[in-house]
A and B are shown apart, each in its own frame.
Chain A
């Protein structure tokens, strides 16, 4: 089950908001469909993104997939552990497989995101 406290997008990103910061990764559904993840092209710290812009690229054995910023913000941290162990995204997508931390520039955007329940309904509709 996808963690209840997170918010989700239809592009299969999760975001965990705490105060004016949020941690971002891809969902269990996303990593399962991508297969073995071999590289995560993380953004530079200090770079700003608008919601919907390509935040980073996740590379599986077969393909490269864009991951979009679910919210607007500035990168304040990236998960360096993924440089040597990208498989953490497969093993623990909501924990050790997190990717980026953003400082939010427009916290009001969060109301447009999906709840865990809404996301579960959405992925069920894709089957």
Chain B
């Protein structure tokens, strides 16, 4: 029998009407009142997600920064204290072990937040590849995490913190107090909207959840499940590890070249990416929308006009805000330019699609930017 893990909010979810489902070993709410309603609440107002299942790994020691930089693709050297960075961690074949966010406390202390599905694997990977004077600690059991997301997230959270949230621009974080509990407040998220991810000592998580709902009564704050977490991230074209990216896809193929810094020094997987750059890619992840009725889903095949298979869908849905069938697919390079015609095979039927620019929808994320430092 598989025993599903519970976050500190398990009882809270039941109380708030969450429909609980198994998800990568955890029992999590897929929805409360409905995926579309929750999706729209985050796009137009403010919603909250329990993301306590995410993994947290802390790297400390004099070599923490150079080691993190060697294990990941983006340039962690550019971070200042209190800054966050989206990055990928590759295997020796250039495949993506996981995508993650680095939080630099200081050069000797970097917290990495990773996907729940990969948390154990990532920790084992980091421990076996870490060199020099740096050590990794799995802090996943210590941290609960809430994601407060939506254009009104800052307005709500401002009621509960004593400092001006404008001092926490996109992809930065700071320590602060909510309801007497010291937490880490980061302006990051997985929805395409402005918002915060709040790391909370595990046992204090329900109290912070309730404080946010008390402060959010007038908005009203919507509890949100994994269902709309997936639909929001896809509209914003944020990658889902296990679907759009995995250990067989490189960040270049996945359209994540912007988190690969070839000039920063050595990192695991770099030589494979250098070779891919030199030889050119064979396939790439593109955004598409159906121009005929249907709903694309992960694993559906993609064909050309003659029916020859040219790729496959990795994520797809009827986009709740856009009300259009959209998806992501790996296709041969010839079919990657915007406007290219593709056919998605849905139940043996060819349904016409076209490649479109992404993100499919640009939300409010990143509207509060750091003032450039001189």
A59 to B293, CA, bound (A): 12
Return B80 CB to nearest CB of chain A, in Å: 40
Look across to chain B and name the residue whose beta carbon is closest to the beta carbon of A42.
B293
Q: A39 and B227 in contact (CB under 8 A), knowing A62-B30, A64-B297, A83-B293?
A: no
Secondary structure class of chain A's binding surface, majority of residues: strand
* Smallest CB gap from B347: residue in A: A57
B30 / chain A contacts, CB cutoff of 8 Å: 62
* Chain B residues, CB < 8 A from A41: 293-294, 347
B220 to chain A, nearest CB (A): 20
Given the interface pairs A61-B317, A62-B227, A64-B297, the reply to whether A35 lies near B35 with Cβ below 8 Å is yes
Pairwise interchain contact B318-A59, C-beta atoms closer than 8 A: yes
Cα distance A61–B347 when bound, in Å? 17
- Bound: A59/B294 CA distance, A: 9
Tell me the complex Cα distance, A41–B318, Å: 13
Residue on B nearest A87 in the bound complex, by CB: B36
Task: Report the bound CA distance from A41 to B325 in whole Å.
Answer: 13
How far apart are the CA atoms of A76 and B318 in the complex, in Å? 28
B34 in contact (CB, < 8 A): yes
B368 at interface, CB cutoff 8 A: no
Q: Is the CB of A38 within 8 A of B318?
A: yes
Interface residues on B, range: 10 to 19
**A:48-95 near B, CB below 8 Å:** 57, 59, 61-62, 64, 83
- CB contacts (< 8 Å) of A64 on chain B: these are 295, 297
Note all chain A residues with C-beta closer than 8 A to B297: 64
Complex Cα distance A64/B297, Å?
Answer: 9
- Using a CB-CB cutoff of 8 Å, which residues 309-334 of chain B contact chain A? 317-318, 320, 325
- Which residues of A have CB within 8 Å of B295? 38-39, 59, 64
What is the minimal beta-carbon distance from A81 to any residue of chain B, in angstroms?
Answer: 14
- Please encode chain B, from 29 to 73, with 1 for each CB lying within 8 Å of some chain A CB and 0 for all others: 011001111000000000000000000000000000000000000
Residues of A within 8 Å of B320, CB to CB, are: 36, 38, 61
Q: How far is the CA of A64 from the CA of B294 in the complex (A)?
A: 10
Chain B residues engaging chain A, CB cutoff 8 angstroms: 30-31, 34-37, 227, 231, 293-295, 297, 317-318, 320, 325, 347
Knowing that A38-B295, A39-B325 are A-B contacts, what are 8 other residue pairs whose CB atoms are under 8 Å apart, sorted by A's residue number?
A: A36-B34, A36-B36, A36-B320, A38-B318, A61-B35, A61-B227, A61-B231, A64-B297
